[in-house]
Structure 1
Amino acid sequence: MIKTRLIKLLSHAKNYVVLQVVWQLISLVAQIALIFCLSNIISSAFNLFSGENAKHQFPSLFAAAIILCIATRFFMEWLTSRTSFRASADVKQILRAKIYEKLLKLGSSYRENVKTAEVVQLASEGVEQLEIYFGKYLSQFFYSLICPLILFSVLSFVNLRAAAVLLVCVPLIPLSIVLVMKIAKRLLNKYWGLYAELGDSFLENLQGLTTLKIYKADKKKALEMDDESQKFRHITMKVLTMQLNSTSVMDIMAYGGAAVGMIVTILQFRAGKVDLQGALMIILLASEFFIPLRLLGSFFHIAMNGMAASDKIFSLLDLPEPQQKLNGVPKELKKITFENVDFSYNRDRIILNGINIECQRGITSIAGISGSGKSTIAEILMGRNKWYGGNVLFDGTELREISEASLMKNVVLVNHESYLFKGTIRSNLLMAKHDATEDEMMTVLEKANLLDFVHDNGGLGYKIDEAASNLSGGQKQRLALARALLLNPQVYVFDEATSNIDSESEEQIINVIKTLAESKIVILISHRLANIVNSNLIYFLHDEKISESGTHQQLMKKNGEYAKIFTKQKELESINKNINDIKG
């Protein structure tokens, strides 16, 4: 069970595999020498006590040789373990680096091709399975092929018939392994499929646990996960049953083969065709014919699991990569143009249909009801939804021809889900500009109206918990905004950046956006139309198309969908204000 592509990919680890085989073979030679010396001493002692004329021997010399052989075996075992560890460490480092490099090459749109949970599982559990494959299985595989041949070569000079019987019985173990492999391959592929599905469900439910609690849907999801867990348990038990049964078969083959060889040896001894020393050598070394293959069988199931994992890893590594783009975003970008842009997640769900938008310096707003495709436009601009129709032009350069690095440098997305990492305020800001000075960081914090909070809480070293759970919604959004300001791109895309925060924070962020619009291209997406009234141009999405466009005043005069929604929102805000005044 050798996968040549895997060995080529991990060619450096292959050197460690070769070394393991060498150390094991030296250990085998030491074992043969040890048995020779031991059997010689026993044979001489037996002849002496039986009154027979024993040949002149050197017991002290053989005793010293035995000690040397034991020390050699011990040292070779240590070297084998050390080399196995290095091979395992090498494999983990190389494979995880390959997966990481592949994700970088796939870019921000990698989730269109593979689930995040599956990537996590492959990079952790999948790689761990292949660690055993390279660290132990491969070296044991080659050693198991060479070991019986060496033993046969040595013992054939002692007694050819007994050595031949032992050698003939050896292939019974690999035959049983081959039979098990046919069953195991299908079973382990199914195992990994269910394992990936269970991991995906677990990650999704964990991320949405708060929502599930709010809607009291956690019990239903728990029952669904129980069903998935039961399916995974059943397939796991089948894998374990298969492993136990195959182990029993291999034990029968190994011990049975050794027993047959010993019986033949005893018969040859009784017939006078082999002396006592030779008989002892064959009997004591008979198990060595089968132990390597038996040990290989114990690694076999893990190796099979590793093979199934490698198939998944190669499926990821074989995903088509976007072509390398040489063009960049123009240094002095004047406008972004959407020309007849279409987008659909599948044929039955069209999101955008013939969209035409032009964004210049200032604020260009995109409005529409929920699900109308506003965020899809933002995702297209960020290069995450690549399979769009039509053209998205940056001063005439098609988005598809712009390198992702240039796009990420010149276009930044700030939304209500902008992620803040565990660490400090400083470390989160330095993500945007790794060489930013403290003055630069303080300047953007001041613009985002977060400077007082930073000063009051110990400065830039203030610790941020995972997902910024120790910050309020408004503080999170303003810190995300400060990070975007530090990047200083040519284009800012604000996608519902003021949702789920207090009115004071919302007003502060809108003021920053207005300031940015004086020198940058700003694309503002907001469900709250009061935030976009000062936009240079507003596009209103309805039924997959741009149904209206113009300034706020122009759209209100048209008295279309935009005007109706704006009026309703104003009425609702007025009612809420009156209710709050009464409560106050």
Structure 2
Amino acid sequence: GVDQLETYFGAYLPQFFYAMLAPLTLFVYVCTINVTSAVILLICVPLIPVSIAAVQTWAKKLLSKYWDQYTALGDTFLENLQGLTTLKIYQADEYKNSQMNEESEKFRKITMKVLTMQLNSISIMDFVAYGGAALGLIVSVLQFRSGHIDMAGCLLIILLSADFFIPMRQLGSFFHIAMNGMAASDKIFHFLDMKESEKGNQEFPDNHNISFRNVQFAYEAQRPILKNINVECPMGSFTAIVGESGCGKSTFAGILTKKNENFGGSITIGGVRLSDISEKSLMENVTYISHQSYMFKGTIRDNLRMSDPDAADDKMWEVLRSVKLDGYIKEQGGLDMKLNEQASNLSGGQRQRLALARALMRDNSVYIFDEATSNIDVESEDDIMAEVHNLARTKTVILISHRLANVVKADNIYVFSDGYVAECGKHEALLEKNGIYASLWNTQCEMENI
């Protein structure tokens, strides 16, 4: 649909202006031969744009539905393709196949409606165009029989009758393609017209104490995720956020990195409101590492230099040693080792170590680890956590983890529960409270000792 915008601007609009001027020019010329014939032909010409306008109202609604269904079918197909392995494992491919067939049938029906609409509108425009030309022929013959024009004038009007309607007819032929582009453009322009949140212009402060005061956030108005939370992350501290799945831990990180906006309450960094800090400056000082850090197809060097384009090889080997990945990389060809898309030729643990190495290249002020050790082997988890603890000695580190053994050494631990901060304190103090944290700790200890 977007490609057809070129037809709209490159063919439809120029033809539109040509279709307006050509009949007027011919009208002036035919008037020199016979005014009656010229007036009748000119009166018939607007019937084509009138029919186009009548069809356009109907076509715009229909094509909007067409592109909605087209997008839905594409989304379903892509989702099924990406999740094909999972569907096979759970033997749910037959169900998804039937679902795909339903989407395909809906698309087939709406496509047939569009084709029917196009055929009907073309038929109407052809009827008007050929009918007008035929009327011009009849009038010119009658004018000749009445002696108002000679034979040469009669033949000239007959030949020009078709030319009165050809520009409008050509306009109609571009109309349906143009309407496809216009329907698609409505969605594009709607997206472009969406108001962006106000961008800050202040620099990231040197004194970067992070403070959340009565912060609320909801993806949907009826379902709040964070409810008046208060969190303090002093500069140079090691702060941990823990809690059961769905309690708002990752949402907290998303707000701090400006991925989640429109929150309530107050968030400041070094006394400066988060919204007043420019996104560029924030990204230059805050590094976010999740359990799904993306690795690009290319080499180890290419991926590491995303953090520091001018980094020397020595610096890259230094961070690889710190995450204990240097030995394996050397065996595989060094920094020029080829990586597949999403580093699929590395294990889960190796990918996370490489993601941490890339983060360490930045040497930023604040590091946020969001379940960075999730779903990896124990050895890799231990190596990554050792580096996190080492980093916490000189940097501000916020660790979000479901595994409490990783947060024992944190300066302060915040326990999230149902969107609230239920408890906070050091590991030993929280165990003494015998509350939510102690319950989670005991449960995890029992499970890991089995």
- TM-score (norm: length of structure 2): 0.93
What's the counterpart of residue 10 of structure 1?
none
Amino acid in structure 1 at the alignment position of 2:210? I
**Aligned-partner residue type, residue 346 of structure 1:** E
Structure 2: which amino acid aligns with 1:501?
A: I
Aligned equivalent of 1:188: 63
The equivalent position to 1:288 in structure 2, one of 153, 156, 163, is 163
- The one-letter code of the counterpart of 2:211 is T
Alignment of 1:248-259 (within 5 A): 248-259=123-134
User: Is 1:236 matched up with 2:108?
Assistant: no
2:246 alignment partner in structure 1: 371
Q: Tell me what 1:24 maps to.
A: none
Deviation at 1:364, TM superposition (A): 1.0
**Which of 392, 410, 417 is matched with 1:535 structurally?**
410
Instruction: Give unmatched runs, 5+ long, in structure 2.
Output: none
Aligned pairs for 1:245-284 (under 5 A) are 245-284=120-159
SS of residue paired to 2:229:
strand
2:369 counterpart of 1:494: yes
- Are the aligned partners of 2:206 and 2:270 in contact in 1 as well (CA < 8 Å)? no
Aligned match for 2:32, one of 146, 154, 157: 157
What letter is aligned with 2:286?
A: V
- Secondary structure of the equivalent of 1:339? strand
Choose from 339, 342, 350 the match for 2:224. 350
| Greater alpha carbon shift after TM alignment, 152-161 vs 529-538 | 152-161
Counterpart amino acid of 1:134? F
Query: In structure 1, what residue type is equivalent to 2:384?
Result: I
Kindly state the Cα deviation for residue 214 of structure 1 after the two structures are TM-superposed.
Answer: 3.4
Structure 1 SS opposite 2:394: coil
Aligned to 1:106: none
Per-residue deviation, 1:499: 0.9
Q: Structure 1 residues 347, 163: CA separation in 2 closer, same or farther (over 3 Å shift)?
A: closer
Cα distance in 2 for partners of 1:421, 1:285 equals: 64
Report the Cα distance in structure 2 between the residues aligned to 1:247 and 1:540, rounded to whole angstroms. Answer: 67
Deviation at 1:150, TM superposition (A): 1.2
Give the counterpart of 1:448 among 311, 320, 323.
323
CA distance, structure 2, for counterparts of residue 214 and residue 328 of structure 1: 50
Please say if 1:391 is aligned against 2:266: yes
Contact between 2:385 and 2:406, CA under 8 Å: does it hold in 1? yes
Among 547, 566, 570, the alignment partner of 2:422 is 547
SS of the residue corresponding to residue 128 of structure 1 reads coil
* Structure 2 CA distance for partners of 1:437 and 1:154, relative to 1, 3 Å: farther
- CA offset at residue 378 of structure 1? 0.9
What RMSD in Å do the two structures reach over aligned CA positions? 2.1
Higher share of residues assigned helix: 1
Amino acid at match of 1:470: N
Shift of residue 496, structure 1, vs aligned partner: 0.7
The whole-number CA distance in structure 2 between the counterparts of 1:344 and 1:450 is: 40
Instruction: Name which of structure 1's ranges 526-535 and 301-310 shifts more when overlaid on structure 2.
Output: 301-310
Larger RCO (CA within 8 A; separation ≥ 6): 2
When structure 1 is superposed on structure 2, of 170-179 and 241-250 the one drifting more is: 170-179
Q: 1:213 to 1:404 in 2, by over 3 A?
A: farther
Q: Pick closer, same or farther for the CA change 1:158–1:347 going to 2, 3 Å.
A: closer
- Answer with 501-510 or 544-553: which moved more: 544-553
Cα deviation digits, residues 511-566 of structure 1 (max 9, x gap): 11111111111111111111111222211122322222222222223332222222
| Alignment partners' CA distance in 1, 2:78 and 2:240 | 34
- How far does residue 375 in structure 1 lie from its aligned partner after superposition? 0.9
Alpha carbons of 1:423 and 1:401: their partners in 2 closer, same or farther (altered >3 Å)?
same
- SS of the aligned residue for 2:3 comes to helix
Provide structure 1 residue ranges, at least 5 long, that are not aligned to the other structure. 1-124, 576-584
1:216 aligns with 2:91: yes
Give 1:441 deviation, angstroms: 2.6
- Counterparts of 1:404 and 1:469, CA distance in 2: 31
Amino acid at match of 2:295: L
Identity of aligned residues (%): 56
Asked whether 1:567 is paired with 2:435, we answer no
Q: Give the one of 190, 195, 203 matched to 1:315.
A: 190
SS at match of 1:309: helix
Question: 2:7 pairs with 132, 150, 156, which one?
Answer: 132
Distance 1:476 1:397 in 2: 35
The structure 2 residue matched to 1:172, chosen from 3, 23, 47, is 47
> Per-residue deviation at 1:165?
2.8
Report how many residues are paired.
Answer: 449
The answer for the alignment partner of 1:60 in structure 2 is none
Q: Residues 403 and 210 from structure 1, CA distance in 2 versus in 1: closer, same or farther, beyond 3 angstroms?
A: farther
The alpha carbon displacement at 1:406 in A equals: 1.4
Query: Residue 199 of structure 2 contacts residue 275 of structure 2 at CA under 8 Å; is this kept in 1?
Result: no
1:26-60: per-residue Cα shift (whole Å, max 9, x none)? xxxxxxxxxxxxxxxxxxxxxxxxxxxxxxxxxxx
Deviations 1:76-133 (A, max 9, x none): xxxxxxxxxxxxxxxxxxxxxxxxxxxxxxxxxxxxxxxxxxxxxxxxx3x2121111
Q: Assess if the C-alpha contact under 8 Å between 2:215 and 2:263 holds in 1.
A: yes
**Change over 3 Å in CA distance of 1:397–1:208 after alignment to 2:** farther
C-alpha deviation, 1:383, in angstroms: 0.9
Partner-residue secondary structure (3-state), 1:306: helix
1:482 and 2:367 are equivalent in the alignment: no
- Give the superposition deviation at 1:269: 4.0
User: Which amino acid in the other structure matches residue 499 of structure 1?
Assistant: S
1:421 deviates by 2.1
- Is the Cα contact below 8 Å between 2:239 and 2:412 reproduced in 1? yes
* Corresponding position: 1:329 with 2:208: no
Write the distance in 2 (CA, Å) between the matches of 1:279 and 1:450. Answer: 91
What does residue 198 of structure 1 align with? 73
1:522 is aligned to 2:397: yes
Q: Which amino acid in structure 2 is aligned with residue 159 of structure 1?
A: N
Task: Provide TM-score, normalisation by structure 1.
Answer: 0.73
Q: Which moved more, 1:415-424 or 1:200-209?
A: 200-209
Read off the aligned partner of 1:259 and give its amino acid letter.
A
Which position in structure 1 is the counterpart of 2:308?
A: 433
